[in-house]
Structure 1
Amino acid sequence: MNKQIVASLVATSLFPAAAWAEQNTETVVVIGRSHHADTLTQIPANVAVITQEDIRKSGAQDITTLLRGKSGIQVSDTNSGASFAMRGFSGGQSAHNTLILVDGRRLNKADLSGPQLGAIAMSQVERIEILSGSAGVLYGDQAVGGVINIILKSTAREGGHVGVRLGDFDTRGTYASKSGKLSDYWHYQISADYEKTDNYREHNAQDSGMLSSRVEYQRGSERFHAVLSYFDDDRQWPSSLTENDYRANPRQSKSTHAEDYGHEISRSLDVGYQKGVGETWQLSTSLQYSDTSTSAKSWGTPSQAELDQLTISASGEKSFSTNRGEGAWIVGVDYANNAFDYYSQSAFSTTDRDNRQQRMSVFSQLHYPLSSQTTLVLGGRKSRVTDDLTDAATYPNGEQLKAHASALEIGVNHFIDDINRLYIRGEQNFRFAKVDEQAYTSPGVFGLDPQRGNSLELGWRQEAESYQIGADLYRLEIDDEIIFDSSATKPVGGSFNGANVNADRSVRYGGSISGQLQVTSAWLVAGEYHYIDAEFTEGDSKGNALPWVAKHTATLQSTVHITQDILMHLEGIYTGSRYKDGDTANSKGKLSPYWLSNFALQYELDQWLTTFRIDNLFDKQYPANVNQWDSYYPGDGRQLTLEARYSF
């Protein structure tokens, strides 16, 4: 990438400013897309918040590390970037059934590539909101297993920081940020992050960086923001390994992949405007545009891809009062226009695609007080999608495919007393096929049906001054899940066996319990346990477990202030046994369960913060992904990282 640009912005960010207030006690939750439901307790769902203080205590260097194991998140990684599964999806489908947002903007892509979390500098994250379960009404397409909303730091706080990090596998990076005041109502922020690392495996070196600039205006109920971002990630792709190779030396990469790589450059613009109208209406509109260029080589075959995504949203929220309490009504429209161009050529086949996809949705949600302690939530969304497909093999003359899907929700949020809350919620969800999924189907299959699901959940929360505890139960049923089936008939002109299909019905039963306890003023312990029973309920695989879904997962954490300036954090993450990714027949045997342990030690002195972290403390060997062809992708071994940050 252009290192001179990154270095220039880092350098220009290093100038004095007012003191930076790193702590933030803000508790407003925006994942509910409502100004009325502005705190976690007002949403009838399992919503967890990783606060700024939680992030600091963990010492995590990236978002993937921070999210691993939180709220039942299961991670899959083929050593080219992690994807997150919530509520029982395989590694291959996780990126398409968990919606990732940044300040409410979709990070998910219209093609089969996963959200690029490396585009978000960890130093810029204020908090992360995690909604476990469906959110089809508020967010529509892909909000199936859960929603992760990453909130960036506000420009309203003047100041900045600069930091460096060094670690194993020749890891080194630097970052900087500066926020300031342009006038009484205008603020700005500029930030940069650059990292270079060889990563754990051979032939997996990575060179990445991001630049971001942001301006905000706020005066009363009127707000405006504009964010311009640039991201460049160049990464070598190592080969998969056989089980024997994996056990002998998980860091190795075979010579068959000696030239494989992926290089992504992405530019994005995010513009939003909000304004109060009268005493009861709040109007919001936003526009997001991203342009992503990718060049790659896989198994020696080069490819080029261009993906343009445009999303426009508008909504209005009316607040009202009754003799039973406050309520709100939201109505909105979302529009997306995505263009995907892909070209690759090998000695055996040529792939040339020019696909377009448009999505249009209308939605509405009502928060109605049934009493001073109980709120009813009703909502609905109607969506339609149009795919214009041109593919040299499958659709040489072009084809237009149309589909529609809808979602309804009903929920009740009830406060038993000041610290106890119950909720029950039923919600539908859906996912449309990606633009490149439609182009790789078996002969005679013209268009994949939308994936549809039904979710029912029940939960309880108790939040006292020194402790919090919660539990929930759920059932998630999926019809026509869109997956890649290696046993399906290869498409005409296809370059590899298998095809994208609508799978048989599946169901997931699950539950969780989580809590934290302030043992003393200096010692905090926290833990989560998640159970998922996921299986096919129809077809040839009826009764079989869904692959790559661990039935048991858990997280334990302990944070101790040794002194006022020294903090120690220790965590253990458990992943239970599971079938290999794609093994729908359950014929390959289960992988062994494992624990991962992480340790962090922090020292804070005035404006300096120094963090020493060890990931995979005991150097546990574990697979980050294993597929039905017995191809192993190793997880990272032990890694030591030292970071120093100065705030001003």
Structure 2
Amino acid sequence: MNKPIVASLVAASLLPASAWAEQNTETVVVIGRSHHADTLTQIPSNVAVITQEDIRKSGAQDIATLLRGKSGIQVSDTNSGASFAMRGFSGGQSAHNTLVLIDGRRLNKADLSGPQLGSVALSQVERIEILSGSAGVLYGDQAVGGVINIILKSTAREGGHVGVRVGDFETRGAYASKSGKLRDYWHYQISADYEKTDNYREHNAQDSGMLSSRVEYQRGSERFHAVLSYFDDDRQWPSSLTENEYRANPRQSKSTHAEDYGHEISRSLDVGYQKGVGETWQLSTSLQYSDTSTSAKSWGTPSQAELDQLTVSISGEKSFAAKGGEEGAWIVGVDYANNTFDYFSLFIDRDNRQQRVSVFSQLHYPLSSQTTLVLGGRKSRVTDDLTDAATYPNGEQLKAHANALELGLNHFIDDINRIYIRGEQNFRFAKVDEQAYTSPGVFGLDPQRGNSLELGWRQEAENYQIGADLYRLEIDDEILFDSNAISPSGGSGGANVNADRSVRYGGSISGQLHVTPAWLVVGEYHYIDAEFTEGDNKGNALPWVAMHTATLQSTVHITRDVLAYIEGVYTGSRYKDGDNANSKGKLSSYWLSNFGLQYELEQWLTTFRVDNLFDKQYPANANANARDAYYPGDGRQLTLEARYSF
């Protein structure tokens, strides 16, 4: 075992402190989409929460850094933005099988691009809720491996902050936020964040900024909010590297990509209203609209894309008293989405539209004071109107449907021990730009469908928490890009396909211990055995899925005003992305170590953080194409941040 790994293990287990989720019954969550089941112990699933205090103590500068390794999250990055995989999906499919939300609003795109996490300033995040496992009934499309819900700070907290940050690779940033009261029951918030950086690699400079304004009304059970957001991200794209180039100089980029870039501008509106009706009903409505424009150049070929997304949700929740007087709840709702996608490049002219309609219902029925039964179902239909100059020059309409059912039990053994068991179906529809890029003779991709079974145990005492989970996830007709498939007319290098059946067996152990009031130690270990169960690759491991991952964290208050944080994140060996045949050997396992130090004095907070403390060289993504394509992970980076709150 080499010295950096030893140092990571020793430091993470002995140097005190981190703040990974204070999981207790007082933590109110909204990921369950219920006003009744609103705490961790009431949801029969593996749910964790990263609190505001956890975020502050970590010293992380962005959401991707904060989430790496949490709840078994595996990160993939082709040096254009991180995507997250939960419960065993390849790097190419991670963004389409993990649902990311902001205050319940989908951040996932209707096209193949991943959710843009840079549009969310970490300084504005109140907490992050992570549900490991399927959530097909409550959230439908793409809630396959897990759901990440990012909760923003409330406008009711009057005041604000300003901050600056500087770091390696010419990183410079500034941010500010102000919240206040407009009049009785009305509050506002305005925030901005800007960063300019060269990033770790050559030809990977990035210039990004976001603006957001929010108005909220709250009086009793009646609530209203309206949020306007603007996001601008301009980033150079470096080339992939061969293995020899990657090992010789991971920071380099080839001259063949000297002009490649991606520039995204996104505008969004989020409006929501909730009101109690009578003594037993709570009604909720929401509307989200986003308009994203992207200009890019890849391998010297320019392209333009426009994506408009409209989502409307209406739901109602009725509370009732079951036999014995225990309170239950019944949720019923409708979700509607209308997405239009226009794309143009030298070789492709595409104008597609996709509509999704779903109805869902979930029942929380108390069988006793200690046991709750959860039943649910969702029925969804999708219609794609495709116009593609190469594949569907005269237009084509494709229709499909998918259903999800849920059955779960949540049981309290005693005051500190809880067990749960849950079976749930999940699904994913082909993206709005996925349907047209199929092999000749393939007219439309079938919906991806899955079945999940999980059970877990939690023990939560005053100064420690421990939990264990086991699960089985089976996927039929997984939608993915196969580089060996026959390309459509005018295309090259493969096509989108429905893959052979695959299954994932996994488990996790997690815990945290307050060694002293000032010293907290946290650990997680996750195991995934993911393989194909049908077809030519039957018995082969799914590529880019590490069988073993782990996180060790520790935080300690050295003094009342000084806090130290250290973290070790382990990723086990795995096959390169796309190596379904398992023919190219595994990549080596590695540890990443991060360190932070904070000083807080009255209204000032100063944070020093070192990511990748030992400057470990590792691939953020490695694809098994004809020449192999390596995308290096970031090397060691030092960041200094200062914030003033008022």
Normalising by structure 1, report the TM-score. Answer: 0.95
Structure 1 residue 591: Cα displacement = 0.1
Q: Which whole-Å deviations, capped at 9, do the CAs of 1:433-486 have from their partners, x for residues lacking one?
A: 001110100000000000000000000000111000000000000000001001
Structure 1 residue 2: Cα displacement = 47
Note closer, same or farther for the CA distance 1:107–1:480 as it changes in structure 2 (3 Å cut): same
Alpha carbons 2:18, 2:553 under 8 Å: kept? no
Q: Which whole-Å deviations, capped at 9, do the CAs of 1:17-41 have from their partners, x for residues lacking one?
A: 9999999997210000000001011
- 2:425 matched residue in structure 1: 428
Structure 1 residue 15: Cα displacement = 39
Alpha carbons 2:17, 2:565 under 8 Å: kept? no
Alpha carbons 2:261, 2:298 under 8 Å: kept? yes
Alignment of 1:152-163 (within 5 A): 152-163=152-163
Alpha carbons 2:8, 2:591 under 8 Å: kept? no
CA distance in 2 between counterparts of 1:18 and 1:597 reads 13
- 1:580 matched residue in structure 2: 576
Between 1:59-68 and 1:625-634, the stretch displaced more is 625-634
Note closer, same or farther for the CA distance 1:354–1:312 as it changes in structure 2 (3 Å cut): same
Between 1:294-303 and 1:19-28, the stretch displaced more is 19-28
CA distance in 1 between counterparts of 2:459 and 2:568 reads 24
Alpha carbons 1:582, 1:628 under 8 Å: kept? no
CA distance in 2 between counterparts of 1:401 and 1:19 reads 48
Alpha carbons 1:69, 1:554 under 8 Å: kept? yes
CA distance in 1 between counterparts of 2:338 and 2:13 reads 36
Structure 1 residue 404: Cα displacement = 0.1
User: Gaps (5+ residues) in structure 1?
Assistant: 344-348
Alpha carbons 2:574, 2:586 under 8 Å: kept? yes
Structure 1 residue 11: Cα displacement = 41
Aligned residues: 642
Q: 1:459 aligns with which of 448, 453, 456?
A: 456
Note closer, same or farther for the CA distance 1:300–1:514 as it changes in structure 2 (3 Å cut): same
**Paired residue secondary structure (1:312):** strand
CA distance in 1 between counterparts of 2:633 and 2:340 reads 34
Structure 1 residue 9: Cα displacement = 44
Alpha carbons 2:584, 2:624 under 8 Å: kept? no
Note closer, same or farther for the CA distance 1:3–1:464 as it changes in structure 2 (3 Å cut): closer
CA distance in 2 between counterparts of 1:565 and 1:627 reads 51
CA distance in 2 between counterparts of 1:18 and 1:401 reads 50
Q: Percent identity?
A: 91
**Paired residue secondary structure (1:66):** helix
- 2:637 matched residue in structure 1: 639
Note closer, same or farther for the CA distance 1:646–1:15 as it changes in structure 2 (3 Å cut): farther
Note closer, same or farther for the CA distance 1:3–1:629 as it changes in structure 2 (3 Å cut): closer
State whether structure 2 residue 103 is matched by structure 1 residue 69: no
Structure 1 residue 521: Cα displacement = 1.1
Q: Which whole-Å deviations, capped at 9, do the CAs of 1:380-429 have from their partners, x for residues lacking one?
A: 00000000000000000000000000000000000011111000000000
Structure 1 residue 14: Cα displacement = 41
Normalising by structure 2, report the TM-score. Answer: 0.95
- 1:363 matched residue in structure 2: 360
- 1:119 matched residue in structure 2: 119
Q: Which whole-Å deviations, capped at 9, do the CAs of 1:585-639 have from their partners, x for residues lacking one?
A: 0001000000000000000000000000000000000007666741000000000
Alpha carbons 1:316, 1:330 under 8 Å: kept? yes
Q: Which whole-Å deviations, capped at 9, do the CAs of 1:330-351 have from their partners, x for residues lacking one?
A: 00000000000000xxxxx520
CA distance in 2 between counterparts of 1:5 and 1:588 reads 26
Structure 1 residue 322: Cα displacement = 2.1
**Paired residue secondary structure (1:13):** helix
Alignment of 1:203-352 (within 5 A): 203-325=203-325, 326-343=327-344, 350-352=347-349
CA distance in 1 between counterparts of 2:177 and 2:467 reads 37
Of the two structures, which has the highest relative contact order with CA contacts closer than 8 Å and spacing of 6 or more?
2
CA distance in 2 between counterparts of 1:263 and 1:580 reads 28
Structure 1 residue 323: Cα displacement = 3.5
CA distance in 1 between counterparts of 2:555 and 2:13 reads 33
**Paired residue secondary structure (2:279):** coil
CA distance in 2 between counterparts of 1:10 and 1:260 reads 42
Note closer, same or farther for the CA distance 1:155–1:573 as it changes in structure 2 (3 Å cut): same
CA distance in 1 between counterparts of 2:497 and 2:320 reads 46
- 1:346 matched residue in structure 2: none
CA distance in 2 between counterparts of 1:277 and 1:321 reads 17
Structure 1 residue 7: Cα displacement = 42
Note closer, same or farther for the CA distance 1:552–1:14 as it changes in structure 2 (3 Å cut): closer
Note closer, same or farther for the CA distance 1:628–1:562 as it changes in structure 2 (3 Å cut): farther
Q: Which whole-Å deviations, capped at 9, do the CAs of 1:189-242 have from their partners, x for residues lacking one?
A: 000000000000000000000000000000111000000000000000000001
Alpha carbons 2:290, 2:308 under 8 Å: kept? yes
Q: 2:497 aligns with which of 494, 497, 501?
A: 501
**Paired residue secondary structure (2:497):** strand
Note closer, same or farther for the CA distance 1:83–1:172 as it changes in structure 2 (3 Å cut): same
Alpha carbons 2:178, 2:190 under 8 Å: kept? yes
Between 1:5-14 and 1:392-401, the stretch displaced more is 5-14
CA distance in 1 between counterparts of 2:423 and 2:456 reads 12
**Paired residue secondary structure (2:393):** coil
**Paired residue secondary structure (1:54):** helix
Note closer, same or farther for the CA distance 1:8–1:46 as it changes in structure 2 (3 Å cut): closer
Q: Which whole-Å deviations, capped at 9, do the CAs of 1:101-148 have from their partners, x for residues lacking one?
A: 000000000000000000000100000000000000000000000000
Between 1:46-55 and 1:625-634, the stretch displaced more is 625-634
Q: Which whole-Å deviations, capped at 9, do the CAs of 1:231-255 have from their partners, x for residues lacking one?
A: 0000000000011110010000000
